[in-house]
């Protein structure tokens, strides 16, 4: 015979905390609390297997369920000395749902089940309080009527409001027995009217009705949506908990409350919660009366803390708090009831908390010896660190939504709308806060993005230029907000009938992708000492290195401040847009002869040399991976007539020639044309100049600091071994030249990005010419999916919403497809060269789920934007700890 029902309390120990799959979270914890001797009213849990069997078997219960429920009900009756349906003193029960993970959207709670027209009289006599009995009866009809029978709960509330108006009272507590009797009559009529049947009077029928409603709610649309959004399989099912009622509404020596064993918003080790005297659970949540604090230490004048109102129950609750934390080793979220000064526990679970609280609790619990350091590292969600490092919107601040895009770079920012990067720069210089609004950004916008407080684009995905650059700079960014239209001509931003003009204020929330009209109050980040402590513990446990994607001295310094162990990707093209250099870059591109290009490149050389000198100095001996020029040349070309004229003048030619060359170079493709090493192959002088700048910069630093840097030169977009061989030869040739000129040498390596499917499939060949691989998963995702990274924002959010893809593959690596490619690249690369260094520098290098994948495939390091370095350090530690746990399991 299958066991479907598990009793708890009154000496029955059939369940435990680790049986949450079978008993649901609530049932497992009730059983656990009862078995460690806490005062839990006796009850039983109908297992999640019943739910699964119910749906597998055309909504029929298993044959032997009824008998097991009846037997378990008898156990409760015996334990409390009362009987179900007893006219003189009835047993009442609560019925609650409880899945493995707490799941809003499902049936909540029915209290006081077992009351009917006869037992209500018995309860009134037994408690010597008929008002209490009739109040309980009306609560029961109200809850059962709405959650089981589907009557709109407002209809019930209306009836109470009318009764209070007629009686001339404000609070429910001022209504008398006679009023509640009237309300009950009204409720019964309402139920009859709405359902066509009288309110069920038979307690057993009531019980099965409530059990059926819990199982039924597992498949209601809200629950199905919630499960889909949170990856909860339907097969898990829900359990049903039936428990003897205790009453918080029996008089002034009764109460009900909720509390957290520590403050869930700050993490402070203080008892935090509230209670209501003479009330049942739903009153605390409903907000009809103002709940009171628990401890005297936090009570404001006029408030009556539980500590003062019911000192005995408070003392007991404090003891329970200690016992629960020592037992569960985590902050608990507790529900309790006091009946005639006696405390009863109704629920405990690990409490939800803010990022700041999570960090503080993990560190303090480890310091107090409640958990160990490794456990503390596992407790903090790496993604939540973003919240701690950036300003965020004050959750209580009022706001008007304009529209929504992708949450491309976290943090919040307010400022006046500007539509051009030049204006962003000039207004910022005047001391204004600006938000740069563009349809999309290009490398030409770097200075405006840098000047702006935040960036909004209406086109582009999570690895679009705007998203990547904003994350690198730590600027909040909302990208690809397709529902918002931008008109550069009229200088207006519009969405959903609202308009914002240039110069008016908007606010961005880069963590949610929301855009608001006007300014919204913000909370500044406060990084406590606990942050450094947790990071140090994380570093002890991680295997992979963590580097940063950085090219400016400022980014490099930020990266070091956050603990980066080197640079994993320096995108050299970002260095070309400085106003001092762009003209030389354009001259180089426009000239149609090698000698013309070499002349222009020689002007760039000192700038690049200085760039690298600075990076090597800041990184003080840590590895620095420099990627040679990657984007197609047309990205650097001037668009405005004035800029074209400037280039024409400097080359002694006319604007028509410039325009013609620009047309020749123009490409309309998802960045798959004449770029990456293809440029190096066509125009060797470009990479030669960059290599010279790197080696000369490195030798200068070696002399200055007495310690030579170790540059890692990286060739982008390699698909064929020959491409790498040709470009590597360019680098080696220049190295030999520079070393001969300087009379000294430094160590360096040359590797490649792996960002094309062909490179993956032939990684064993390519490894023969490479000292390292760095997976460029942005381009690899683009090329494996055959999906332009800049157009992805148009439809990927819909794909994710519709469940076609579990997550945006430009944010979190597509383990099945792109991940399979990475795996092949790793295996083939290492098979050919077992000491091949392997890293990742796509945006995935800062995403915790992708970092876990990187640990599993055995990469040596991840590289991500500077502000994500702490996230990556923690995620890498968790991945390593998880892998270690798997090995010992």
DSSP 384-403: GHHHHHS-EE-TTS--EEEE
Shortest reach from residue 291's CB to ligand PEP, in Å? 52
Q: Is the distance from CB of 590 to CB of 651 less than 8 angstroms?
A: yes
841 is catalytic: yes
The region of 51-59, 222-230, 747-755, 780-788 touching Mg ion under the rule CB under 5 A is: 747-755
Told to check if 461 binds ligand PEP by CB under 6 A, we report no
CB of 468 to ligand PEP, least distance (A): 6
Instruction: Give the residue closest to Mg ion by C-beta.
Output: 779
Give the separation between CA 562 and CA 867, rounded to whole angstroms. Answer: 7
- Whether 878 and 382 have beta carbons less than 8 Å apart is answered as yes
Shortest reach from residue 594's CB to ligand PEP, in Å: 27
Would you count residue 479 as binding ligand PEP (CB under 6 A)? no
d(CA 393, CA 387): 10
Q: Are 360 and 267 in contact (CB under 8 A)?
A: yes
Smallest distance from the beta carbon of 885 to ligand PEP, in angstroms? 30
Rounded to the nearest whole angstrom, what is the least distance from the CB of residue 717 to Mg ion in the complex?
7
Query: For Mg ion, which is the closer residue by CB, 423 or 755?
Result: 755
* Count of residues of this chain found to bind Mg ion when the rule CB under 5 A is applied: 3
What CA–CA distances, in Å, run from 831 to 766, 768, 823, 836?
12, 11, 12, 9
Kindly determine how many residues on this chain lie close enough to bind ligand PEP according to the rule CB under 6 A.
11
Q: How far apart are CB 796 and ligand PEP at their closest, in Å?
A: 17
Q: Is the CB of 358 or the CB of 865 nearer to ligand PEP?
A: 865
| 777 binds, options Mg ion, ligand PEP, none, Cβ within 5 to 8 A by partner type | ligand PEP
Q: Is 776 in the site for Mg ion (CB under 5 A)?
A: yes
Site pattern 81..120 for Mg ion (x: CB under 5 A): ----------------------------------------
Residues 568-597, one symbol each (x = binds ligand PEP by CB under 6 A, - = not), give: -x-x--------------------------
Q: In angstroms, give the least distance from the CB of 489 to Mg ion.
A: 34
- Binds 842, which of ligand PEP, Mg ion, none (CB < 5 to 8 A, cut-off by type)? ligand PEP
571 binds, among ligand PEP, Mg ion, none (CB under 5 to 8 A by kind): ligand PEP
Tell which positions 621-640 bind ligand PEP, by CB under 6 A.
630
Give the contacts of 647 (CB within 8 A, at least 6 positions apart): 583, 586, 587, 590, 638, 658
Cα 772 versus chain centre, distance: 32
Other CB atoms closer than 10 Å to residue 381's CB: what's the count? 18
- Closer residue to ligand PEP (CB): 364 or 630: 630
Task: Report if residue 635 touches Mg ion, rule: CB under 5 A.
Answer: no
Closest to ligand PEP by CB, 182 vs 865, is 865
Please pick, from the candidates 841, 862, 869, 877, the single residue that binds ligand PEP as defined by CB under 6 A. Answer: 841
Copy the structure tokens of residue 107.
């049936």
CA 608 to chain centre: 38
- Three-class SS state of 111: strand
Cα angle: 135, vertex 140, 146; to 5 degrees: 130
Q: DSSP per residue over 119-174, as a string?
A: HHHHHHHHTT-HHHHHHHHHHHHHHIIIIIT---HHHHHHHHHHHHHHHT-SSGGG
779 binds Mg ion (CB under 5 A): yes
Contact 339, 843 (CB under 8 A): no
Q: Which of ligand PEP, Mg ion, none binds 841 (CB below 5-8 Å, type-dependent)?
A: ligand PEP
Within residues 723-782, the interface with ligand PEP by CB under 6 A covers 755, 776-779
Shortest distance in whole angstroms from residue 675 CB to Mg ion:
9
Instruction: Decide if residue 850 touches ligand PEP (CB under 6 A).
Output: no
Shortest reach from residue 603's CB to ligand PEP, in Å? 25
Classify residue 439 by its DSSP letter: S
Q: Which does 572 bind (CB under 5 to 8 A by kind): Mg ion, ligand PEP, none?
A: none
- 334, 320 in Cβ contact below 8 A? yes
Out of 179, 390, 450, 465, which one is annotated catalytic? 465
Answer yes or no whether residue 790 interacts with Mg ion by CB under 5 A.
no
Verify whether residue 477 is a known catalytic residue. no
Q: Which letter, b or e, does each residue of 470-486 get, where b requires 16 or more Cβ atoms within 10 Å of its Cβ? A: bbbbbbbbbbbbbebeb
Q: Which of residues 251-280 bind Mg ion (CB under 5 A)?
A: none
The token pair at 522 is 């913000």
Catalytic position from the list 841, 844, 854, 864: 841
Binding partner selected for residue 583 from ligand PEP, Mg ion, none, CB under the kind-specific 5 to 8 Å limit: none
Q: Name the 3-class secondary structure at 61.
A: coil
Assign 802 to helix, strand or coil.
coil
Adjacent-strand bridge partners of 9: 12
Task: Identify the residue whose tokens are 């199982």.
Answer: 215
Cα angle value 66/71/74 (rounded, 5°): 130
Positions touching Mg ion (CB under 5 A) are 755, 776, 779
Q: Name the residues annotated as catalytic.
A: 465, 841
Residues that bind ligand PEP (CB under 6 A): 468, 569, 571, 630, 755, 776-779, 841-842
């Amino acid at each position: 015979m299958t066991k479907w029902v598990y009793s708890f309390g009154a000496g029955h120990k059939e369940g435990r905390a680790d049986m949450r799959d079978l008993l649901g979270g609530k049932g497992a914890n009730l059983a656990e609390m009862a078995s460690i001797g806490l005062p839990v009213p006796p009850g039983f849990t109908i297992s999640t297997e019943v739910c699964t069997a119910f749906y597998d078997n055309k909504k029929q219960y298993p044959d032997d369920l009824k008998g097991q429920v009846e037997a378990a009900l008898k156990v409760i009756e015996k334990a409390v000395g009362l009987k179900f349906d007893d006219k003189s003193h009835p047993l009442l029960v609560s019925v609650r749902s409880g899945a493995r993970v707490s799941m809003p959207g499902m049936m909540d709670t029915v209290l006081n089940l077992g009351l009917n027209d006869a037992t209500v009289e018995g309860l009134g006599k037994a408690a010597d309080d008929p008002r209490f009995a009739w109040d309980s009866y009306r609560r029961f009809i109200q809850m059962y009527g709405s959650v089981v029978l589907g009557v709109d709960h407002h209809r019930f509330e209306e009836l109470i409001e009318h009764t209070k108006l007629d009686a001339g009272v404000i609070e429910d507590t001022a209504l008398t027995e006679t009023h509640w009797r009237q309300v009950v009559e009204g409720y019964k009529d309402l139920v009859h009217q709405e359902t066509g049947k009288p309110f069920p009077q038979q307690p057993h029928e009531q019980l099965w009705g409530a059990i059926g409603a819990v199982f039924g709610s597992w498949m209601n649309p809200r629950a199905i949506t919630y499960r889909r959004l949170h990856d909860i399989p339907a097969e898990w099912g829900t359990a049903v908990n039936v428990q003897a009622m205790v009453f918080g509404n029996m008089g002034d020596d009764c109460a009900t409350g909720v509390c957290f064993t520590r403050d869930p918003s700050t993490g402070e080790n203080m008892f935090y919660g509230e209670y209501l005297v003479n009330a049942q659970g739903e009153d605390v949540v409903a907000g009809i009366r103002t709940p009171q604090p628990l401890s005297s230490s936090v009570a404001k004048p006029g408030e009556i803390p539980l500590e003062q109102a019911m000192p005995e129950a408070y003392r007991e609750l404090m003891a329970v708090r200690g016992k629960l934390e020592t037992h569960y080793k985590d902050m608990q979220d507790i529900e309790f009831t006091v009946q005639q000064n006696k405390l009863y526990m109704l629920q405990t679970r690990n409490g939800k908390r803010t990022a700041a609280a999570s960090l503080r609790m993990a560190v303090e619990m480890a310091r107090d010896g409640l958990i160990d350091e490794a456990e503390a590292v596992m407790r903090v969600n790496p993604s939540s660190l973003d919240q701690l490092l950036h300003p965020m919107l004050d959750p209580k601040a009022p706001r008007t939504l304009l529209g929504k895009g992708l949450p491309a770079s976290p943090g919040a920012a307010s400022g006046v709308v500007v539509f051009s990067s030049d204006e962003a720069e000039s207004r910022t210089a005047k001391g204004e806060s600006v938000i740069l609004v563009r349809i999309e950004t290009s490398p030409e916008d770097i200075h405006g993005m840098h000047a702006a407080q935040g960036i909004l684009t209406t086109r582009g995905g999570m690895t679009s230029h705007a998203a990547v650059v904003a994350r690198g700079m730590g600027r909040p960014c909302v990208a690809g907000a397709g529902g918002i239209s931008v008109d550069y001509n009229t200088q207006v931003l519009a969405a959903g009938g609202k308009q914002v003009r240039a110069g008016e204020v908007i606010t961005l929330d880069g963590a949610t992708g929301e855009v608001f009209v006007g300014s919204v109050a913000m909370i500044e980040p406060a990084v406590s000492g606990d942050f450094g402590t947790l990071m140090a513990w994380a570093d002890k446990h991680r295997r992979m290195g963590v580097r940063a994607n950085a090219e400016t001295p400022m980014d490099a310094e930020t990266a070091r401040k956050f603990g980066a162990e080197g640079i994993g990707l320096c995108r050299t093209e970002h260095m070309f847009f400085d106003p001092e250099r762009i003209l030389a870059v354009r001259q180089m591109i426009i000239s149609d002869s090698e000698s013309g290009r070499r002349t222009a490149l020689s002007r760039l050389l000192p700038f690049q040399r200085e760039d690298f000198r600075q990076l090597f100095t800041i990184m003080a001996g840590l590895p620095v991976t420099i990627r040679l020029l990657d984007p197609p040349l047309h990205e650097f070309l001037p668009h405005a007539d004035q800029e074209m004229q400037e280039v024409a003048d400097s080359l002694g030619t006319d604007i028509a020639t410039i325009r013609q060359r620009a047309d020749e170079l123009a490409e309309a493709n998802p960045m798959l044309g004449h770029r990456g090493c293809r440029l190096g192959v066509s125009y060797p002088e470009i990479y030669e100049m960059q290599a010279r700048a790197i080696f000369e910069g490195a030798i200068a630093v070696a002399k200055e600091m007495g310690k030579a840097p170790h540059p890692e030169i990286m060739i982008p977009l390699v698909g064929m071994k020959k491409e790498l061989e040709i470009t590597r030869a360019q680098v080696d040739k220049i190295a030999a030249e520079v070393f001969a000129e300087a009379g000294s040498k430094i160590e360096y390596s040359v590797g490649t990005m792996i960002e094309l499917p062909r490179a993956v499939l032939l990684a064993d060949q390519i490894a023969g010419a490479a000292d390292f691989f760095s997976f460029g998963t942005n381009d690899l995702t683009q090329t494996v999916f055959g999906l332009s990274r800049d157009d992805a924002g148009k439809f990927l959010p819909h794909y994710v919403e519709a469940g076609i893809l579990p997550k945006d593959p430009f944010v979190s690596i597509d383990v099945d497809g792109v991940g399979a490619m990475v795996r092949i690249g790793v295996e083939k690369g290492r098979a050919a060269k077992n000491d091949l260094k392997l890293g990742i520098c796509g945006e995935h290098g800062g995403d915790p789920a992708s970092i876990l994948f990187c640990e599993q495939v055995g990469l040596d390091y991840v590289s991500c934007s500077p502000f994500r370095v702490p996230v990556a350090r923690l995620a890498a530690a968790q991945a390593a700890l998880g892998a270690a746990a798997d090995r010992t399991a």
